[in-house]
Amino acid sequence: MDIGESLRLFYVSTHFKMTQILNVDIIDNDKGGHEDLLFSIPDLIGDRSFDTYYFCLAVEPIETIDDIKNAVSQLLQFWLGKIAESKNGETIYLPIDFSDQYTGCLKVQNKDKHLILTYGFSRREGYAVDPLNPENYYKEINDFQADSEKQLTVDQDVFISALDRQIQKLKTVTT
């Protein structure tokens, strides 16, 4: 294989990974706000399903699935803002799994415009966090426990772009 072919394969591989770095979907599964938020960071935690129950409570009354999608997009917009504002050396916690006994979250460490992502949880209960604006969460977590030792390092601008794509996808009206 010559250098041109190697560079082309590297570009295709890198492009694929960047466009697939994050996926967020809401499904209508008739489970009353349970296991209907599909979340994936393939190189970090793979496919997970979380509950939108606390999102639903935050935006009642729910008329369509688009109301839930918009609520989740608000959370991702919060993430985007906090990541964009984060400074070198800063660590923030971005909740995504709001459960009765805990919150699942991303630990995000900013190192020279590269984000080191770790998935784990805090024992802070999901009902104690506003899923639309977790201002009282993102800097206050002091009991984070990683699910595994796995970490993913990604360029800050690449992750912000991936978040923006997911926000736009969720805001698209489906009903």
Per-residue pLDDT tens over the stretch 78-128: 999 999 999 999 999 999 999 999 999 999 999 999 999 999 999 999 999
Is residue 127 domain-resident? yes
Is residue 11 domain-resident? no
- Which residues make beta-bridge pairs with 97? 104
pLDDT above 70 as % of the chain: 88
Mark 8-27 as b/e (b = at least 16 C-beta within 10 Å). eeeeeeeeeeeeebbebebe
- Can you give the residue range of the structural domain that contains 109? 22-171
Is residue 17 domain-resident? no
Which tokens belong to 7? 């560079």
CB-based contact 24:36 (threshold 8 Å) = no
Is residue 97 domain-resident? yes
Domains identified in the chain, total number: 1
Q: What is the pLDDT, as a whole number, of residue 175?
A: 59
CB-based contact 121:108 (threshold 8 Å) = no
Residue 93 one-letter amino acid: Y
Is residue 10 domain-resident? no
Residue 115: CATH number of its domain:
3.30.2450
